[in-house]
A and B are shown apart, each in its own frame.
Chain A
Amino acid sequence: MISLLSSLVAALLLVNLVALGTSRISTVVRAVASQGVLLGLLAVAAQGRLNGTVVALALASIVLKGWLIPVILFRALRQVAIKREVEPALGLLPSLLLGAFATVLAVAAGNRLPLAETRLAPLLIPASLATVACGFILITARRKAISQVLGYLVLENGIFIFGLLLVDAMPFLVEVGVLLDLFVGIFVLSIIIHHINREFSSLDTRRLSLLKE
């Protein structure tokens, strides 16, 4: 199982970099969707045996993040008619390099953090930290509001990976709650994106600072 697990983790880290490296928004959405599917498989692989709880969790993750949320996002994209992230705050190559550096740092230093020692920790903690860092980079480095949403999704994926370590200790309720949270959040954000576009005729978040006062 460990080899399956490590290949899944490697695929996950690659998808992170793909999301960072492209300016086509639909590609980023597809990358995030595939991350969702990978996470579902990761959940099953991490557990080892086919526990009913874990299978339900994995299925929920795959359906929600792999299908439902991308559908919502594509619909929002169509309404807004945006195809590319044209003027990011941090250029594509610099953000890609930053993401790679964060991944390396996570792999090197992640296991030194004073966290609980489990069998799967050496693999999952760096993956989680790297994904969280890439999510943050997406949020801070991109200007369009929809990129913020995608960065938030990647961030949540990172936290989900971390949660897989604790799937025995944390009650099922919390994981389901997190998923529900995510779904509601995306739903609301897609509506907000539509309104932002209608109000400012653009999704550039720099315009939002006009709302400060």
Chain B
Amino acid sequence: MRAPGLALSLLIAAGCVLAASGVPGLLLRWRSLWGPRIAASATVLGSLLGLAGCALVLGGSGAAAVSLPSAVPGGRLVLADDALSGFFALPVFVVGSLGSLYGLAYWPPAEHPRNGRRLRFCYGLLLGSITFVTLARDGVGFLVAWEAMALSGYFLVTTDARSREARRAGWLYLLFSHAGTLCLVGFFALLASSGGGFALHALAPGQIGRGAATVAFLLAFVGFGIKAGAMPLHSWLPAAHAAAPSHVSAVMSGVMLKAGIYGIVRAASVLPAPPVSWGAFVLTVGGCSALLAIAFALGQRDLKRLLAYSSIENVGIILLGLGLALVGRSAGRPDWVMLGLAGCLLHVWNHALFKSLLFFGAGSVAHATGTRDLELTGGLARRMPATAGLFLLGSVAICGLPPLNGFVSELFVYLGLVRTAIAPGPAWAALPAPVLAATGALAVACFVKVFGGAFLGTARSAAAGEAHESPPLMLAPMAVLAVACAVLGAAPGLAAPALERAVAVWAGHPLPGPSLAGLAPLGRISTGAAALLAATALLTLAVLPACRRGRRRAPELPTWGCGYAGGSPRLQYTASSFAQLVTARFAWALRPRERPPRLDGLFPAPARFESHVGDSVLDRVLLPRARRLRKTAARLRIYQQGDLQQYVLYIVAAIALLLLFNLPLNWLVGTLCGP
């Protein structure tokens, strides 16, 4: 159905409705229940409009554009939709609406008098601005939407303004965000100087020089990579995602990071004729990011910080797919482009789904036990069975295990990478495949640690022992996301047409050669998933009677602890001890700060052992440099006496100097020296 204008209008309308969804709540009293309800309904309505628009765009309606007069002289505000924009806009609507419903029960006005209204307002603004980021096609409009997204993200991170952790996280976030925006301004300036104005259209091959194109690509990569959270630009991510409320973390992780990825993907499609080095660079960054981030995740004991590092890992996997597509474009191999970019884009969707599911689960755990510390939870599967089951599904999905959706996108990337190995010529592009395998194995370790530490075993604290199941309004969004994961994993053919259209938009033309279904075994994946589930179900049913009999016969058996009669929850393995074998091996990167216990004398006093894994890039690189800079800058204090007039005098001197430069020198000399 070709209705290009309709799809664009739906998407623009969705963006506006989402941005305005929190405004009615601002006008009502903080205690009113109608504020959150109106906000949630508006978000769901906007999301439905947006989903309809995305469905039209991804279903094959052509691209449309609308051009509005802009306040900037000489420019126009251009909004357009195409399959790539629609692809990245879809997670906004899905995760945004579900998060809003989750927030109804998670952040009720009665418990949060000071910041509920601000939270809902900024939440709506965040969703709306991300929608407009995907729709903007000129530099100024893009940057305005980008800044709106960044600022609303800042206010969401510092929602709990009383917490020192939240304030510090917000400060870091703002610093990094603005550094990124600076790079983006440079990128757009370079694009404009090559004759395209501020418009974001694909440049012709001769329009921009090779050096300028590389600089532009690096600027775009750094600027967007800061927002996406690629290592080593990621230091703001763990703190920000841990400090924000859980449904906001879900949106930030699932959607806002993808806005950064969208930027890199769009920049890569705009710049013509990429050399192979760009693809190699992206592959390297993606691989290192993935491997190191999951090692960092294994070292965390805060559940949400761990999930944040896991997001960085998944961004690394997405970048691997993009790097492969870039290499394929340079080498003229459309099958590599198709597999790489399809893996990248499908992983964008997959990650949005299962990471949001996991963050909602983390929010439920925090809501039920009052803590995010994995060392203080445990045994929650018995008290919160539904949450545990859904969280398990999310964990299996994020590890990329069949039959769920993570496996499909990783399979695309693997297929592409191994294809580069069997092609004639050097096969360095296949080296990320074992790195991806190691990452997958570490992810299994990490999420067994999370699931086992939080939900299995026995409760390690009193609060965990009295946990209660979440209300249905918190479980329903998780269930929807879980079903989506299962459906995408069992029937990836559903997403294939949308993926092919998005890849065609990226490459500028529909790719020659076999389609995605011809390159990847989509049908076999479905039958395999079905076979796995059927076999598991049958075998489980076969052993179930014996298990039931066993439970009935001896209901209160304790676990065999080698004969210790007085077992306590502190005997079981903790989450950090589970991960210790791996974190010890990665200690060169993680650099844990350990304070060993001091035991001296025959009857030593009680002692403690403390170990903490911070963020190495932040603690070892950025903070020492910042401290040194501050010491150097302190020497410039003599110019900063706090005197207002002195500062204005500096401004006057600067202006006078600038004016003086513009006066023709001979005239000045003539008047001063007289005729």
Contacts and interface: CB of A to CB of B under 8 A. Distances in A.
Direct contact of A and B (CB under 8 A): yes
Interface of A: 89, 108-109, 112-114, 136, 139-141, 143, 148, 171, 173, 205-206, 208-212
A141 B643 CA distance: 12
A41 to B, nearest CB: 28
A105 B409 CA distance: 71
Given A113-B659, A140-B652, A173-B71, A205 B645 contact: yes
Contacts of A109: 663
Given A112-B667, A113-B662, A113-B663, A140 B642 contact: no
Interface string B405-424: 00000000000000000000
A211 to B, nearest CB: 7
B42 to A, nearest CB: 30
Nearest to A211: B642
A121 to B, nearest CB: 15
Contacts of B652: 136, 140
B571 interface: no
A48 B649 CA distance: 38
B498 to A, nearest CB: 41
Contacts of A139: 645, 648
Interface residues of B, number: 18
What's the dominant secondary structure at chain A's contact region? helix
Contacts of B648: 136, 139-140
A206 B643 contact: yes
B206 interface: no
A134 B642 CA distance: 23
Interface in B630-655: 640-645, 648-649, 651-652
Contacts of A173: 71
Contacts of B662: 113-114
A112 B644 contact: no
A114 to B, nearest CB: 6
B664 interface: yes
B559 interface: no
Given A113-B659, A171-B71, A212 B640 contact: yes
B568 interface: no
B644 A210 contact: no
A208 B644 contact: yes
Nearest to B660: A109
B641 A140 contact: no
A92 B662 CA distance: 31
Given A108-B671, A136-B652, A171-B71, 16 more contacts: A112-B667, A113-B659, A113-B662, A114-B662, A139-B645, A139-B648, A140-B645, A140-B648, A140-B649, A173-B71, A205-B645, A206-B643, A208-B642, A209-B641, A209-B643, A212-B642
Contacts of A143: 645
A151 to B, nearest CB: 8
Nearest to A177: B71
Nearest to B651: A136
A143 to B, nearest CB: 8
B649 to A, nearest CB: 5
10 contacts: A108-B671, A109-B663, A112-B663, A112-B667, A113-B663, A136-B648, A140-B648, A140-B652, A173-B71, A209-B643
A211 B73 CA distance: 40
A89 B646 CA distance: 11
Given A108-B671, A136-B648, A140-B648, A210 B642 contact: yes
A171 B642 CA distance: 38
Contacts of B642: 208-212
B48 to A, nearest CB: 35
A171 B168 CA distance: 41
Interface in B71-110: 71, 73
Contacts of A171: 71, 73
Contacts of A208: 642, 644
Contact of B641 (A108, A112, A148, A212): A212
A173 B71 CA distance: 8
Contacts of A209: 641-643
Interface in B2-61: none
A205 B663 contact: no
B644 A148 contact: yes
Q: Which residue of A108, A109, A148 has the most chain B CB atoms within 10 A of its CB atom?
A: A109
Contacts of B71: 171, 173
A173 B472 CA distance: 51
Contacts of A205: 643-645
A211 B648 CA distance: 17
A21 B592 CA distance: 68
A108 B668 CA distance: 11
Contacts of A112: 663-664, 667
A9 to B, nearest CB: 20
Contacts of B671: 108
Nearest to A151: B648
A206 B671 CA distance: 39
Contacts of A206: 643
Contacts of B643: 205-206, 209
A113 B641 CA distance: 34
A133 B664 CA distance: 21
Contacts of A140: 645, 648-649, 652
Contacts of B667: 112
Nearest to A114: B662
Contacts of A136: 648, 651-652
Among A136, A171, A173, find the residue whose CB has the most chain B CB atoms closer than 10 A.
Answer: A136
A148 B648 CA distance: 10
A212 B647 CA distance: 13
Contacts of B649: 140
A210 B644 CA distance: 11
A141 B645 CA distance: 7
A208 B644 CA distance: 8
Nearest to A213: B642
B546 to A, nearest CB: 75
A89 to B, nearest CB: 6
A136 B73 CA distance: 30
A206 B641 CA distance: 10
A143 B646 CA distance: 11
A56 B73 CA distance: 22
Contacts of A211: 642
Nearest to A169: B73
Among the interface residues B73, B648, B663, which one has the most CB atoms of the partner chain A within 10 A? B648
A109 B671 CA distance: 10
Question: Which 6 A-B pairs rank lowest in CB-CB distance, beginning with the nearest?
Answer: A212-B642, A209-B642, A140-B645, A136-B652, A139-B648, A205-B644
A148 B649 CA distance: 13
Nearest to B71: A173
A210 B667 CA distance: 46
Interface in B459-485: none
B185 to A, nearest CB: 21
A93 B644 CA distance: 22
A139 B643 CA distance: 12
Contacts of B651: 136
Contacts of A210: 642
Contacts of A108: 671
A126 to B, nearest CB: 13
A79 B509 CA distance: 71
A114 B661 CA distance: 11
A117 B73 CA distance: 21
B71 to A, nearest CB: 6
Contact of B645 (A89, A114, A212): A89
A210 B642 CA distance: 7
